[in-house]
């Protein structure tokens, strides 16, 4: 996506926030710039990223994308990335921006009983952010693993298990809103790690997005 189209998307997201009760008319330039990074980020070919309606009551301004990890038509994992912005600052965030993320993937049912799985899952997030040089404060989140077995008329269904990571952190962006890209790369790496994809070979460069991600609702109609 071009910077012009990305900036227009940022302005539309800001307008939506204002209509939902935002207490500032028009989003700050720093938010516009951060959303440009969000909507023009380069992604691995296995990640199918789409625009997602962002929550409008958590912060004055927000934008979001959702992603599915698809390999040969099979979904191996999914996630969301929400960018929140409160120009007045937020004590809990320790800043004016906040990244709120979700990532999930199916796992072997035997892994659910491993007491180390939650801490390992959290380390995948931390490692993904650090390996992409994402600078941040105040991380928090949960790692959940669940399993399910089917009975009765569904007894033939195999046992299933999955891991979910819900996390948020405050990205240390520059005053003009630049610096979100490493955080997006870290989230994308986490999704791929959960889905069991190997790291990209050294020297392979991801191609940047050249168009606005399609909305999830529009793709299904």
pLDDT digits 0-9 by tens, 75-86: 999 999 999 999
143 vs 154: which has the higher pLDDT: 143
Residue 78 lies in a domain: yes
Q: Over the chain, what is the mean pLDDT? A: 82
Residue 77 lies in a domain: yes
Q: What is the pTM of this model?
A: 0.78
Residue 206 lies in a domain: no
pLDDT of 193 strictly over 90: yes
List Cβ neighbours of 148 (8 Å cut-off, separation of 6 or more). Answer: 159, 160, 161
Residue 220 lies in a domain: no
Residue 106 lies in a domain: yes
pLDDT tens for each residue of 16-48: 433 332 223 478 999 999 999 999 999 999 999
The average pLDDT across 168-185 equals 97
The average pLDDT across 97-111 equals 92
Residue 192 lies in a domain: yes
The average pLDDT across 187-205 equals 80
Residue-number span of the structural domain to which 191 is assigned: 3-197
Sign of the alpha-carbon torsion through 209, 210, 216, 221:
negative
Could you give the number of structural domains in the chain?
A: 1
Token digits for 134?
């994402």
In the chain, pLDDT over 90 holds for what percent of residues?
59
């Amino acid at each position: 996506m071009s910077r012009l189209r990305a900036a227009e998307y940022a302005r539309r997201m800001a307008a939506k926030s204002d209509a939902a009760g935002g207490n500032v008319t028009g989003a700050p330039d720093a938010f516009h710039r951060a959303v440009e990074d969000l909507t023009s980020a380069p992604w691995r070919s296995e990640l199918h990223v789409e625009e997602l309606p962002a929550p409008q009551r958590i912060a004055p301004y927000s934008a979001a994308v959702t992603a599915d990890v698809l390999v040969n038509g099979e979904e191996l994992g999914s996630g969301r990335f929400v960018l929140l912005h409160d120009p007045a600052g937020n004590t809990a965030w320790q800043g004016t921006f906040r990244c709120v993320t979700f990532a999930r993937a199916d796992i072997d049912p035997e892994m659910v009983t491993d007491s180390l799985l939650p801490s390992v899952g959290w380390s995948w997030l931390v490692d993904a952010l650090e390996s992409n040089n994402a600078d941040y404060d105040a991380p928090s989140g949960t790692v959940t693993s669940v399993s399910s077995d089917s009975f009765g008329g569904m007894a033939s269904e195999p046992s299933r298990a999955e891991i979910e990571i819900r996390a948020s952190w405050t990205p240390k962006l520059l005053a003009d809103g630049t610096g979100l890209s490493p955080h997006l790369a870290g989230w994308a790496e986490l999704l791929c790690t959960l889905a069991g994809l190997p790291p990209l070979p050294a020297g392979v460069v991801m191609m940047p997005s050249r168009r606005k991600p399609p909305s999830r609702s529009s793709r299904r109609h």
